Amino acid sequence: MKYINYFSLTLLLCLGVLLLDCKNSNKIKPAPVNNEKQKKSNKINSDIKILHQNINMSEVIQVPDDIFENKIDFTQIIDDIDFTILETNNECIIGSINKILSDSNYYFIHDKENDNIFRFSQDGMFINKIGTKGYGPKEYIEAWDISLDIKNNVIIVLDLMGRKIIRYTYNGDFINKSDMPFLYSQLECLDSFIILKTGNATNIDRSIASFQLVFSELNQSPIAKAFPIRKGTYSYTTENPLRKFGSKVYYHNPFSNTIWNINEKEKSLGIPIQLDFGKKTWSSDDLELVSNDTQFRKLLEKYYYFSGNYVFSSTHKFFEIRKKNKGAMLFQNNKSKKILYGSSFVNSEKQLYSILFSNPRWLRFDDKFITIKQPYEIAQWKEYILKNDIDKLTQFEKDKINSINAENNPILVIFSLRDF
C-alpha cells in the first residue's frame, strides 16, 4: 500500500430546498409555524439590519494548480493518531453521523437518518440517549440539527418538522421548548444571540425571506440578516455550512470560496477567509445564470471548487477541494501560513494509520480533528494490519483492532497535526 486516496466524491443533492425533510414528507404533516410569534417578530423587526460582506480584509489562501496531482507526506503533517470504538448495543445503533459534538468528558453523536442523539464517554462507552422521538410536548418529531451549550451542559435540538427547538440536559431530560417563528435549517448558539441558516422556503418571515443567514435574539427575534439568496436555480447544496469550532462560529455560503467568521462581540461578520483559485473556478455571475441542475453539474465538471467541508482548530485549517471526480485536501498552519496539500498520502509510519486516516469532519474539545471510519473498512484489513505492523503496534492497539466487528457502530478517528 504505497499511497492512500480517500475521497468518495458524492455531492449532497437535495430534492428541493434544504428546509424540507423529504424522508418524512409522505409520513408526517409538518406542524405550522407559530403565526402569532411570527407577527410579533415582524412588528418588532420591520427594519432588520443587513450585514454587509466586506472582503477587503480577507485572509487569502492560494489554491495550488497541482493540488490534485500532489501527495502529502504523512510524516510531515500527522503528529499523532488514535481511534475510539463506539459501543454497539440495541439502545445505540447508529445509522449515519451528521454531527459529532464534544466536551471534555463526552461525545454527542447526531444520527440524522434515524433522528437519534446519543451520548458516549470519551472512551466510547454508551451513556444515554438525548430526548425521545414522538408527538408529546417534551418530544421531537425529527432531530434535524443539534447544538451544544457547554457552559450550561445543555444540548439544543432543532425539530424542523415539529417547528420548534427543544433543550435537554446531558442526561436527556427535558428542560423547555420554543416554537419557531420562521423556518431555518441550522442553528448555532452563542452567549448573547443565535445564528440561524435559513433558505428558500415560501412561508418564511417576510422581513428575512430573501436572506440565507439570520442573527436573532435568544428568543429567536431577528436582529440582523446577511447573504441574499442567489438568482441561480439549482437544488444542490453543501452539508452544514454553519459550523462551530470551540467558541467560534463560521459560515460558508454554499458554493462560494469564502468562509466568514462571526464576530460575537459586534454581532457582525468578521474577517473572512478566502480561497483563491485564480481562473480555475466559476464566478458569481456563472452561478446566477444557472437555471437547472444539469447546467450546475456542468460547472462542477469544468472547474475547481471548494466543497464546503472545512474544519478549523486554533493551530490549523482544513479545506476540501474538488473537481469533477477528483478530491484533494488543503491544510494551512495558522502561524507559519504554510500549506500542505494533495489528493493522497505517502510514507505512513504504520499501515494502521494509512487505513484509519481520512479527511477531517469535526473538531474535538481539545483541538484535535475527528473523522470516522466504518468498522468493515478496518475489519477487512485486520490481518494485513496485524501482519505488517506487528513490531510497530502496542498491545493495546492490537487488542482494539482484534475487537473490531464489521457490524459495529462507526469508529471515531482522532488526530492532531504537526507544526509544519
Q: Which residue has the cell 425529527?
A: 142
Q: Tell me if 377 sits within 8 A of 385, measured CB to CB.
A: no
Residue type, 254: P
Segment 73-131, tens digit of pLDDT: 999 999 999 999 999 999 999 999 999 999 999 999 999 999 999 999 999 999 999 99
d(C-alpha 188, C-alpha 59), whole Å: 23
Q: Tell me if 352 sits within 8 A of 386, measured CB to CB.
A: no
Segment 300-321, tens digit of pLDDT: 999 999 999 999 999 999 999 9
> Which one, of 263, 253, 156, 254, lies nearest residue 215 by Cα?
263
d(C-alpha 128, C-alpha 91), whole Å: 8
Segment 136-165, tens digit of pLDDT: 999 999 999 999 999 999 999 999 999 999
The pLDDT-based confidence of 54 (bands split at 50, 70, 90) is: confident
Segment 231-256, tens digit of pLDDT: 777 888 899 999 999 999 999 999 99
pLDDT of residue 22: 39
Q: What is 12-417's CATH number?
A: 2.120.10.30
222-to-37, 70, 214, 267, 401 alpha-carbon distances in Å: 12, 46, 7, 12, 50
Cβ-proximal residues to 298 (8 Å cutoff; 6+ apart), any chain: none
Domain boundaries, the chain: 12-417
Query: Which cell is 362 given?
Result: 469535526
Please check the confidence at residue 13 and state whether its pLDDT lies above 50.
no
d(C-alpha 414, C-alpha 353), whole Å: 11
pLDDT of residue 34: 62
* DSSP 8-state secondary structure symbol assigned to residue 389: T
Q: Which helix (H) or strand (E) holds 120?
A: strand 116-121
342-to-46, 201, 315 alpha-carbon distances in Å: 49, 38, 20
> Which one, of 69, 77, 70, 10, lies nearest residue 357 by Cα?
77
